[in-house]
Structure 1
Amino acid sequence: MTVTGRKWWKDGVVYQIYPASFKDSNGDGIGDLNGILSELDYIKSIGVDTIWICPMYDSPQVDMGYDIRDYEKVYPPYGTNEDMERLIAETHARGMRIVLDLVVNHTSDQHSWFQESRSSKDNPKRDWYIWRPARYVDGKRCPPNNWLGNFGGSVWQWDEHTQEYYLHLFCPEQPDLNWENPVTRQAIYKSAMEFWLERGVDGFRVDTVNMYSKGDMADAPITDPGSEWQFAGFQYCNGPRMGEFLAEMNEVLQRYDAMTVGECPHTPDMARVVKYVSAKERQLNMVFQFDVVDIGQGPYKFQTTPKNYTLPQFKRAIAQTQSLLRLSADAWTTVFLENHDQSRSITRFTSDAPAHRVAGGKLLSLMMCALSGTLFIYQGQELGMTNFPESWDMSEYKDVDSSNYYKMVAERSGNDSTKLAEAKASLQHLARDHARVPMSWSTAKYNGFSPPDAKAEPWMRPLEDAALCNAEQQQGDKASVLAFWKRMLAVRKEWNDLLVHGEFDDLDEQNEDLFVFSKTWKGRKALAVCNFTDKTQSLTLPESVRNSKRELLVSSADRGDEAELAAWEGRVYLLS
Structure 2
Amino acid sequence: MTSWLNNAIFYEIYPQSFNDTNSDGIGDFQGIINKLDYISNLGCNAIWINPCFDSSFYDAGYDVRDYYTAAERYGTNEDLHRLFDRAHEFDMHVLLDLVPGHTAIDNPWFLESGKGTRNAWTDRYIWRPMTQSPNLNSPYESIRGFLGGIAERPDAAAVNCFSTQACLNYGFGTVTEDWQFAADSPEAQEGRLLIQNIMDFWLGLGADGFRVDMAGSLVKEDPDYYWTKQLWRQVRAH
TM-score range, shorter chain: 0.7 to 0.9
Instruction: Report what 1:246 is aligned to.
Output: 232
Q: Does 1:72 align with 2:107?
A: no
SS at match of 1:246: helix
Q: Does 1:207 align with 2:234?
A: no
The letter for the 2-side match of 1:38 is: N
Are 2:94 and 2:207, in contact at CA under 8 Å, matched by a contact in 1?
Answer: yes
Q: Please give the residue correspondences for 1:471-550 in structure 2 after superposition, counting only pairs within 5 Å.
A: none
- Alpha-carbon separation, structure 2, partners of 1:104 and 1:93: 30
| CA deviation string 1:410-460 (max 9, x = no partner) | xxxxxxxxxxxxxxxxxxxxxxxxxxxxxxxxxxxxxxxxxxxxxxxxxxx
For residue 204 of structure 2, the aligned residue among 198, 201, 207 is 198
Shift of 1:184: 2.6
The letter for the 2-side match of 1:78 is: Y
- Alpha-carbon separation, structure 1, partners of 2:223 and 2:80: 32
Shift of 1:240: 3.6
- Alpha-carbon separation, structure 1, partners of 2:28 and 2:224: 35
Instruction: Report what 2:138 is aligned to.
Output: 145
- Alpha-carbon separation, structure 1, partners of 2:146 and 2:224: 20
Closer/same/farther in 2, CA of residues 12 and 46 from structure 1, 3 Å limit: same
SS at match of 1:115: helix
Shift of 1:201: 1.0
- Alpha-carbon separation, structure 2, partners of 1:93 and 1:187: 31
SS at match of 1:9: helix
Closer/same/farther in 2, CA of residues 196 and 131 from structure 1, 3 Å limit: same
- Alpha-carbon separation, structure 2, partners of 1:194 and 1:250: 12
- Alpha-carbon separation, structure 1, partners of 2:232 and 2:119: 27
| CA deviation string 1:272-323 (max 9, x = no partner) | xxxxxxxxxxxxxxxxxxxxxxxxxxxxxxxxxxxxxxxxxxxxxxxxxxxx
Shift of 1:135: 5.7
The letter for the 1-side match of 2:76 is: T
Instruction: Report what 1:396 is aligned to.
Output: none
SS at match of 1:142: coil
Q: Does 1:109 align with 2:105?
A: yes
Q: Normalising by structure 1, what TM-score?
A: 0.37
Instruction: Report what 2:176 is aligned to.
Output: none
For residue 186 of structure 1, the aligned residue among 193, 198, 201 is 193
Closer/same/farther in 2, CA of residues 149 and 30 from structure 1, 3 Å limit: farther
Closer/same/farther in 2, CA of residues 89 and 97 from structure 1, 3 Å limit: same
- By relative contact order (CA 8 Å, sep 6+), the higher-ranking structure is 2
Q: Does 1:167 align with 2:163?
A: no
Instruction: Report what 2:5 is aligned to.
Output: 9
Shift of 1:162: 1.5
Structure 2: segments with no counterpart, 5+ residues: 172-187
- Alpha-carbon separation, structure 2, partners of 1:237 and 1:41: 45
Report how many residues are paired: 221
Q: Does 1:129 align with 2:128?
A: no
- Alpha-carbon separation, structure 1, partners of 2:137 and 2:113: 19
Shift of 1:159: 3.0
Are 1:59 and 1:68, in contact at CA under 8 Å, matched by a contact in 2?
Answer: yes
Q: Does 1:157 align with 2:113?
A: no
- Alpha-carbon separation, structure 2, partners of 1:143 and 1:121: 23
SS at match of 1:95: coil
Structure 1: segments with no counterpart, 5+ residues: 1-5, 216-235, 253-576
Q: Does 1:31 align with 2:27?
A: yes
Are 2:137 and 2:145, in contact at CA under 8 Å, matched by a contact in 1?
Answer: no
Instruction: Report sequence identity in percent.
Output: 35
The letter for the 2-side match of 1:15 is: Y
The letter for the 2-side match of 1:250 is: R
Shift of 1:77: 0.9
The letter for the 2-side match of 1:142 is: N
- Alpha-carbon separation, structure 1, partners of 2:85 and 2:224: 36
- Alpha-carbon separation, structure 1, partners of 2:123 and 2:170: 10
Instruction: Report what 1:565 is aligned to.
Output: none
Q: CA RMSD in A?
A: 2.2
Q: Normalising by structure 2, what TM-score?
A: 0.86
Instruction: Report what 1:385 is aligned to.
Output: none
The letter for the 2-side match of 1:208 is: M
Larger radius of gyration: 1
